Amino acid sequence: MPVVLWVAQALLAALFTAAGGMKLAMSPDALIPLMPWVEDFRPETIKAIGALEVLGAVGLILPRATNIAPALTPAAAAGLAVIMAGGAVVHVTRGEYPHGIGNITVLLIAALTAWGTLRSLP
Q: What percent of the chain has pLDDT over 90?
A: 96
d(CA 33, CA 36): 6
Does pLDDT of 57 surpass 70? yes
Closest of 35, 41, 16 to residue 107, by C-alpha: 16
In the predicted model, is pLDDT for residue 40 greater than 70?
yes
